[in-house]
Amino acid sequence: GAVVSQHPSWVICKSGTSVKIECRSLDFQATTMFWYRQFPKQSLMLMATSNEGSKATYEQGVEKDKFLINHASLTLSTLTVTSAHPEDSSFYICSARVTPRTEPFYGYTFGSGTRLTVV
Amino acid sequence: AQSVAQPEDQVNVAEGNPLTVKCTYSVSGNPYLFWYVQYPNRGLQFLLKYITGDNLVKGSYGFEAEFNKSQTSFHLKKPSALVSDSALYFCAVRAQPNTPLVFGKGTRLSVIA
């Protein structure tokens, strides 16, 4: 089945540093990747949509200069949290749209998430 | 605009009893509806989806959901709950292809032995 591998699973970084989160589609081509953020005990909030080879589309209120998204290939999308601060601490999840030709078709597959803690 | 409502923050059920996790949706056009489960510090695992066809959808781990167009609902059900079913459940909807899923706020299911 379609699998998205997300790394790292968790990361602790100092305030002011940058952190890169990777999502790789292992056995299919992910032309579209969605990035979500989840606060404790809350739902997933869409941050941005990235399409391979083009600029990401950010949701209202999401700082594009802070959350840099790169989707340079059909199998890799990255989210870089720049100059991280404690308020950026959260759980970040990527999701790729699975095309009908990929079995089993269930629409979307999710990475396992990255727990970011900024100290 | 699309939206999903999960009216219950928490559902408690005894092991062996049937469980229901409620979901209602609002979307223009035909909805694509999904249920996902999330365990602590993990990503989302797909349970089932409704695209078209039979209103009763059967999914993973014995879960099923019934699409009710008139009530705009897609409640998740299981005839006999297990302690291992305890997790956070999300209902999601999408109306158009290539658009992201819109999630409900989630319902925490607690199955008590």
Q: For residue A4, give the DSSP letter.
A: E
Does residue B80 have a pLDDT over 80? Answer: yes
CA distance A25 to A71: 12
Determine whether the interchain pair A110/B101 forms a contact, defined as Cβ–Cβ distance below 8 Å.
no
Q: Which residue from B41, B46, B104 is facing A106, i.e. has the nearest CB?
A: B46
Task: Search chain A and give the residue with CA nearest B87.
Answer: A41
Task: Profile chain A (119 residues) by mean pLDDT over runs of 10 residues.
Answer: 89 97 89 90 89 89 94 91 96 85 64 94
Q: Where are the alpha helices (DSSP H) in chain B?
A: none
3-state secondary structure of A6: strand
CA distance B2 to A119: 36
CA distance A16 to B38: 31
Q: Return the higher-pLDDT residue of A54 and B98.
A: A54
Restricting to A residues 77-96, those with a Cβ less than 8 Å away from any Cβ of B are 91, 93, 95
Give chain A positions within 8 Å (CB) of B36. Answer: 110
Determine whether the interchain pair B42/A42 forms a contact, defined as Cβ–Cβ distance below 8 Å.
no
Give chain B positions within 8 Å (CB) of A112. Answer: 42-43
pLDDT of residue A104: 46
Q: Return the higher-pLDDT residue of B58 and A31.
A: B58
- What average pLDDT score do residues B45-71 get? 92
Smallest CA–CA separation between B108 and chain A, in Å?
9
Q: Provide the residue count of chain B.
A: 113
Does residue B84 have a pLDDT over 90? Answer: yes
CA distance A10 to A64: 22
CA distance B99 to B111: 34
pLDDT of residue A102: 53
Smallest CA–CA separation between A17 and chain B, in Å?
23
pLDDT of residue A103: 46
Interface with chain B: mutation pick from A4, A106, A114, highest number of B CBs within 10 Å: A106
Q: Which residue from B34, B42, B103 is facing A43, i.e. has the nearest CB?
A: B103
pLDDT tens by residue, B3-17: 999 999 999 999 999
The mean predicted confidence, pLDDT, of chain B is: 92
3-state secondary structure of B83: helix
Smallest CA–CA separation between B16 and chain A, in Å?
26
- The token pair at B15 is 């092991």
Question: What does the DSSP assignment read for A7-37?
Answer: E-SEEEE-TT--EEEEEEESSS--SEEEEEE
Smallest CA–CA separation between A104 and chain B, in Å?
11
Residue linked to tokens 């032995």: B113
Q: How far, CA to CA in Å, does B63 sit from each of B3, B37, B55, B81?
A: 23, 11, 14, 10
pLDDT tens by residue, B63-74: 999 999 999 999
Does residue B29 have a pLDDT over 70? Answer: yes
Instruction: Give, in degrees to the nearest 5, the angle at Cα A118 between B37 and A57.
Output: 60
- What is the percentage of chain B residues whose pLDDT exceeds 90? 73
Per the omega criterion (within 30 degrees of 0), is the bond before B100 cis?
no
Confidence of residue B2 (pLDDT cuts 50, 70, 90): confident
Determine whether the interchain pair B41/A113 forms a contact, defined as Cβ–Cβ distance below 8 Å.
yes
